[in-house]
Amino acid sequence: MASVTPVAGTFQVQAPPGAPAGSLMQVTAPNGACVQVTIPPGTPPGGVFEVTMPPAPVVVGQPVVVGQPGVAAAPAPPRPSPLDASVGPNAWAHGLFDCDGLGCFDCLTLGLFGGSCRYCDAVAWSGVDPLQFNADRGGRCCIFCLAISIEVVPCQAIAAHTMARLAVARKYGINQTLLHACCISCWCPCCAFRQVEREVLAQEKLRWGCCGFSAGAAPVASGA
């Protein structure tokens, strides 16, 4: 078996006894790299010859920060659960009963005539993915709209609304508990949906038009 002796920039290899010059042999460099070398002409069996040090092998599965050799990359933060509470310093930009326009009539009529689409579009525009389908904005809007409109299992719509409210609260740093979000979504849904929608419009600087949302809403109002 060949012996290996490191030298700066090169390493020395001893040819196996009985191996003539011109023979191929597999050796392992001092840095762990495997390399195939040819015994140079004039090297007697069992003689020693020098080989250029090959590059060190790359270790797969150990991410390293570029420019900082030997420093492992920080692991990505865990993805929050859809039912995780939001702990933040902020309050909702508008109170639950801070109605505008025609008040309750506005919420109830919008709930019957396109309000669900507007609410779902607002949740999608916020960039959150409460049902975690990893779809684009249009896909998230459609999936969420189906989840709150076509109830397959009991309380499905309430669960979807609760997860959307928590997701929006987490994004904007709003303090919101799971119990509070669930109760509001269950017992006061129209006001809760309108509050989430107005929060997204204020935070993302959007306004509602005849064909959907567009940029240009007023700044965020102080919370109530």
The pLDDT averaged over each successive group of 10 residues in the chain (224 residues) is 59 83 82 83 85 74 51 65 80 82 57 64 83 81 84 89 91 92 89 87 78 58 42
Whole-number pLDDT of residue 221: 46
Structure tokens at 25: 């042999």
* Residue 131 included in any domain: yes
Q: 125: alpha, beta or left, given left = phi > 0 and alpha = psi -120 to 50?
A: alpha
Give the pLDDT score at 165: 92
Would 80 be classed as within a structural domain?
A: no
Q: Is residue 72 part of a domain?
A: no
Residue 68 lies in a domain: no
> For position 63, what pLDDT does the model report?
52
Residues spanned by the domain of 38 = 4-52
**Inside any domain, residue 75:** no
Residue 8 counted as domain residue = yes
Task: Identify the pLDDT of residue 174.
Answer: 93
What is the enclosing helix (H) or strand (E) of 48? Answer: strand 48-52
Note the pLDDT of residue 181.
Answer: 92
Whether the CB-CB separation of 196 and 164 falls below 8 Å is answered with yes
29 and 116 in a common domain: no
- What pLDDT score was predicted for residue 64? 47
Residue 36 domain flag: yes
For residues 115 and 183, membership in a common domain is answered with yes
Q: How would you classify residue 178: left for phi > 0, otherwise alpha for psi between -120 and 50, otherwise beta? A: alpha
Structural domain ending residue among the three candidates 52, 70, 87: 52
Structural domain tally of the chain?
A: 2
In a domain, 116, yes or no: yes
